[in-house]
Chains A and B, each alone.
Chain A
Amino acid sequence: MVVKVYGPAYASPKRVLVCLIEKEVEFETVPVDLLKGEHKDPEYLKLQPFGTIPVTQDGEYTLYESRAILRYYAEKYKSQGTDLLGKTVEERGLVENWLEVEAQSYHPPIYTLTIQILFSSKLGFPRDENLIKESEEKLAKVLDIYEERLSKSKYLGGDFFSLADLSHLPFTQYLVDQMGKEYMIRSRKHVSAWWDDISSRPSWQKVLQLYPAPSKN
């Protein structure tokens, strides 16, 4: 049975797709049209009661929340593909630390920017310029801390590419492409080098090629 990943056009599901490619795990995708509200259909809510994407189906087993899915497959297939977790409990601890940083500090402002800049007119509400400015300032502060971290460590979780770095790929791609805010990355020397490194991985390039993002606002 091949694992099914719902919502490949969008950012959060892309975390799962790039992880599965890194782990050399076959998968299928099932489109979900957010603009048509398919994520709020009763059938979808049976799989994912919060009405968000992604959800994965692996035979009878359903799992949601992209970062939970990442952890499950990175562990299940630990002995194949790229090691995304580290070799020791201590290495894993640091990976988890920076994965939580992404979830708690990086994601909220960049998600707000994504909704406001890329989806507001499609979703039918006016852009909130104050909120955009605030979110960009918050994100800038986080990136300053990343700059310091990456001046001492090749990747966020240590000296190896891990789930902590991978989790940043989809929304950061929106930031530098569709949102036109590449300067936030390029103005920070170590963040810039890190971004070039992780975004040029063949796995990520394949995801972008196979599952283009929805077109601009």
Chain B
Amino acid sequence: MVESVTRRSTDRQDQKFPMATPVKVYGPPMSTAVSRVLACLLEKDVQFQLIPVNMFKGEHKSPDFLKIQPFGQVPAFQDESTSLFESRSICRYLCEKYAEKGNTGLYGTNPLAKASIDQWLEAEGQSFNPPSSVLVFQLAFAPRMKIKQDQAVINENEQKLAKVLEVYEKRLGESRFLAGDEFSLADLSHLPNTHYLVNASDRGELFTFKKNVGRWWGEISSRDSWKKVVEMQKQTT
């Protein structure tokens, strides 16, 4: 029961880059971390095969899966003999390995640009992700899973996220995207959680009511790559 989703590269790219084995991504598109990797693959125009992992049946905790992801989380990833996990490291790997494919500026084209992207990727991972992923679970997933919401936890994390977004509001008033003038991995990394909060919860205004953050969200979420990921999420619900 292996689903294959391969993205065709254009004819011109076929001449420059002969067809390689598609990379493998394990996990459901609705997972925020899996969708982070899918967005990157689509930006980089890298062919991939998406292998489903049924988390409701606990497949991510099976001995076979734990061999490729010992923490029992999605995604897992394979590129021929290279096996990796942790979505942000998979994204970095894709940008380095396939530097000349697709969006070549996604991880910067010089060391200072790359450092700025890493800075904002770390800000996403360390400051944005913790409160926003708690809110995604509480507001978008708990109701579907018939798990009782914890209002105190929601309030605490909403406050934390609001503080982080104040910093973003200031930054995005000075800079079109987080790390500079171009869309980068740093912005991409924010797509999954923000998408759920804006579209599947009643706290979207945390983003949309802020002038600069709202503008930025509108821009990054309308990229073709993200639209395709959202489509994939819809198809598998």
Contacts and interface: CB of A to CB of B under 8 A. Distances in A.
Interface of A: 49-50, 61, 63-69, 71-72, 75-76, 89-90, 92-94, 96-97, 99-101, 103-105, 108, 145, 148-149
Interface in B70-100: 70-71, 81-82, 84-86, 88-89, 92-93, 96-97
Chain A interface main SS type:
helix
For the complex of A and B, the 9 pairs showing the least CB-CB separation, nearest first, are A65-B122, A100-B86, A68-B118, A96-B89, A93-B93, A72-B115, A68-B119, A100-B89, A97-B89
A89 B93 contact: yes
19 contacts: A50-B167, A65-B119, A65-B126, A68-B119, A68-B121, A71-B115, A71-B118, A75-B114, A93-B93, A94-B82, A96-B84, A96-B88, A100-B89, A103-B122, A104-B125, A105-B71, A108-B130, A145-B70, A145-B71
B127 interface: yes
A128 B86 CA distance: 30
A158 to B, nearest CB: 12
A93 B84 contact: yes
A38 B122 CA distance: 22
Given A93-B84, A96-B93, A99-B89, 7 more contacts: A68-B118, A68-B119, A72-B111, A89-B96, A92-B93, A96-B84, A97-B85
Given A49-B170, A68-B121, A145-B71, A76 B82 contact: no
B86 A49 contact: no
A21 to B, nearest CB: 20
Interface string B115-139: 1101101110111001000000000
Contacts of A94: 82, 84
B171 interface: yes
B112 interface: yes
Nearest to A75: B111
Nearest to A94: B84
A179 to B, nearest CB: 21
Contacts of A63: 115-116, 119
Residue of B84, B115, B125 ringed by the most chain A CB atoms within 10 A: B115
B212 to A, nearest CB: 14
A99 B112 CA distance: 20
Interface of B: 70-71, 81-82, 84-86, 88-89, 92-93, 96-97, 111-112, 114-116, 118-119, 121-123, 125-127, 130, 164, 167, 170-171
A99 to B, nearest CB: 7
B34 to A, nearest CB: 15
Nearest to B96: A89
A168 to B, nearest CB: 15
Nearest to A99: B89
B122 A68 contact: yes
B119 A89 contact: no
Nearest to B186: A68
Residue of A65, A89, A92, A145 ringed by the most chain B CB atoms within 10 A: A65
Contacts of B116: 63
B160 to A, nearest CB: 12
B92 A61 contact: no
Contacts of A50: 123, 127, 164, 167
Contacts of B114: 71-72, 75
B71 A103 contact: no
A61 B115 CA distance: 11
Residue of B82, B89, B116, B118 ringed by the most chain A CB atoms within 10 A: B89
A67 B127 CA distance: 13
Contacts of A65: 118-119, 122-123, 126
B85 A61 contact: no
A49 B175 CA distance: 14
